[in-house]
Amino acid sequence: MSELDLRRASSVDEALTIMRDEGRTPIAGATDLYVAAQFGTLVPRKLLDIWKLKELRTIGTAADGQTLVIGALSTYTDLMQSAVVQDRLPMLVTAARLVGGVQIQNRGTIGGNIVNGSPAGDTLPVFAAADAVVVLRSLRGERRVPFNEFYAGYRKTVIKPDELLIAVETPSIDGIQAFRKVGTRAAQAISKIAMAAVRDPKRPRIAFGSLAATVVRVPKTEAALASGNSIDEAAAVLEAEINPIDDVRSTAVYRKRVAVNLLRWFWKETAPA
Amino acid sequence: MKFTLNGKATEVNASPAARLLDVLREDCGLTGTKEGCGEGECGACSVLIDGEVVCSCLVPFAQADNAEVLTIEGLNGTHPLQKLFMDEVGAQCGICTPGMIIAAMTLGEKPTLDEVKVALAGNLCRCTGYSAIYRAIMKWRGMPLPDESSSAVTA
Ligand SMILES: Cc1cc2nc3c(=O)[nH]c(=O)nc-3n(C[C@H](O)[C@H](O)[C@H](O)COP(=O)(O)OP(=O)(O)OC[C@H]3O[C@@H](n4cnc5c(N)ncnc54)[C@H](O)[C@@H]3O)c2cc1C
Ligand code: FES
Ligand code: FES
């Protein structure tokens, strides 16, 4: 790693200036970037350490008292310990608990998970199902991008090289939330498939990770559930709607089967008494 | 860069991008911290930074600036848990042992077996099958072990 050129920023403004002037790539918890560096697949050589920017490590509600605002540098441990996240977005706490081991939970950040953009990123289905909004900032200004428009393709995002992810905003959510991850074992496993779901009586929302090149919502299946179709009918819609990938972690056939089973599990678990 | 290493103020002139693991082993000569995988999977390189357990193979040295770092050497070979790892045969080849013991330092006073398993979920051992490790830790904390058969790892 010593061949890497790393400099530190002491404020968000300084970071944005350095990113504009020197074209440096931000590095947060390094749990993706340093693995890539070890593998020899890390392309950027000029890095900007943003780990200590406390301004980005806050969790709270916006002025409306409703919107949950999670700073980009919040770690999985921060999420698990946050009362407001436990209260408003419990599916994110479940997802955080299932990431890596404690060492990774202490360093891995949501900003890194989102911008790294692996379709196996475990917070991605949560933010997709939550209709979250990503706050991006550069010296040119700040913009808000709906999370479901943030990915342009496999590991491609709409973030510009001079932009920092500042925070993720989640509107308040009606209905029971759930997160399930299927991997090879309980700890430290990359998802073969993950699902985040919200049983909003009016607008049920289902998102899958590791199913396609990016995290996906399943609007047809959601519509079937919303219109009161039986779970069998909704499961059939889901089967027709998704077209999973085949890769080293699992096959398309397996993923389709598991996706349907996860949907059935969710609907049964959250059925009104 | 300055940091506190095992309680001693330390200054090292290394690249800010260097892995903390390499700084500890090469620049500070503390080879107790092991490299298993170099990619965050095994936990052999675990150290505490300001009381939090991290994989030192994934920490840029710059991020340890002004921090307090604890490595296995900081326990001086005299920590009761180190002795218990020997008594209970919680160490075989020993590569995972420093990381296991460091990760165990973050446990509360009265951990349950489940809490021990969660705290050590990021630490892999190829040799012991984990039971002896959990036994050593539970004895250290004076906690009764649930029946032996259920202490096998299920993760
Ligand atoms: C052993 C191990 C287990 C893991 N297990 C899981 C798992 O179970 N589930 C899972 O989802 N992930 C897992 N990961 C992957 C990783 O830990 C997560 O993706 C983590 O959230 C990345 O965050 P980071 O801060 O470490 O990112 P970094 O490595 O610092 O950065 C990742 C990318 O994001 C960019 N970036 C970071 N922050 C910002 C920002 N604020 N603005 C703009 N760009 C930014 C960086 O430039 C880089 O491209 C695992 C990793 C390891 C090593
Ligand atoms: S060597 Fe760091 S986790 Fe394996
Ligand atoms: S004793 Fe050999 S890896 Fe644990």
Cβ-defined contact of B40 to A34 (cutoff 8 Å): yes
The total domain count for chain A is: 3
Q: What is the pLDDT of residues B59-90, one digit of tens each?
A: 999 999 999 999 999 999 999 999 999 999 99
The rounded distance, in Å, linking the Cα atoms of B4 and B14 is 15
The total domain count for chain B is: 2
Q: Is the CB of B146 under 6 A from ligand 3?
A: no
Q: Is the CB of B131 under 6 A from ligand 3?
A: no
Among A136, A154, A170, which residue terminates a domain? A170
The rounded distance, in Å, linking the Cα atoms of A126 and A128 is 5
The rounded distance, in Å, linking the Cα atoms of B50 and B32 is 19
Angle at A11 (CA atoms; ends B16, A48), nearest 5 degrees: 35
Whether A46 and chain B come into contact, CB under 8 Å, resolves to: no
Of the candidates B19, B55, B155, which has its C-beta nearest A187's C-beta?
A: B155
Task: Give the pLDDT band (50/70/90) at residue A103.
Answer: very high
Cβ-defined contact of B39 to A38 (cutoff 8 Å): yes
pLDDT computed for residue A19 by the predictor: 97
Whether B122 and chain A come into contact, CB under 8 Å, resolves to: yes
Neighbours of A115 (CB within 10 A): 23
Among A117, A151, A170, which residue terminates a domain? A170
The rounded distance, in Å, linking the Cα atoms of B85 and B98 is 10
User: Tell me, what CATH number does A106's domain have?
Assistant: 3.30.465.10
B86 Cα to chain A: minimum distance (Å) = 25
Same domain flag for A160 and A78: yes
Indicate if the pLDDT at residue B115 is higher than 50. Answer: yes
Whether A5 and chain B come into contact, CB under 8 Å, resolves to: yes
How large a percentage of chain A has pLDDT more than 90?
89
User: Tell me, what CATH number does B111's domain have?
Assistant: 1.10.150.120
Between the CA of A113 and the centroid of ligand 1 the distance, in Å, is 4
Q: What is the pLDDT of residues A193-245, one digit of tens each?
A: 999 999 999 999 999 999 999 999 999 999 999 999 999 999 999 999 999 88
Say which residues have a Cβ less than 8 Å from residue B137's Cβ, sequence separation at least 6: B81, B84, B104, B107, B111, B116, B120
Same domain flag for B62 and B93: no
Write out the two tokens for A87. 């209260």
Indicate if the pLDDT at residue A85 is higher than 70. Answer: yes
Same domain flag for B63 and B47: yes
Cβ-defined contact of A104 to B14 (cutoff 8 Å): no
The rounded distance, in Å, linking the Cα atoms of A16 and A58 is 19
Q: What is the pLDDT of residues A124-183, one digit of tens each?
A: 999 999 999 999 999 999 999 999 999 999 999 999 999 999 999 999 999 999 999 998
Residue with token string 């404020």 = A11
Neighbours of B134 (CB within 10 A): 24
Query: For residue B143, what is the DSSP state?
Result: P
Task: Give the pLDDT band (50/70/90) at residue B155.
Answer: very low
Q: Please provide the average confidence, as pLDDT, over all residues in chain B.
A: 94
CA-atom Rg of chain A in angstroms = 19
Backbone angles phi, psi at A87, to 5 degrees: -75, -45
Indicate if the pLDDT at residue B45 is higher than 70. Answer: yes
Query: For residue A207, what is the DSSP state?
Result: E
pLDDT computed for residue A2 by the predictor: 62
At A177 the three-state DSSP class reads strand
- Determine the structural domain holding residue B41 and report its residue range: 2-74
List, chain by chain if needed, residues with CB within 6 Å of any ligand 1 atom. Answer: A 25-33, 35, 72, 99-100, 104, 107-109, 111-113, 115-116, 121-122, 164-165, 188; B 39-41
Q: Give which of A71, A87, A80, A73 is closest to A102, Cα–Cα.
A: A80
Among B48, B74, B100, which residue terminates a domain? B74
| DSSP letters for A10-37 | SSHHHHHHHHHHH-PEEESS-TTHHHHH
At A111 the three-state DSSP class reads helix
**What average pLDDT score do residues B6-34 get?**
98
Same domain flag for A141 and A181: no
- Determine the structural domain holding residue A122 and report its residue range: 55-170
Among B residues 69-98, those touching chain A with beta carbons less than 8 Å apart: none
ipTM entry: 0.94
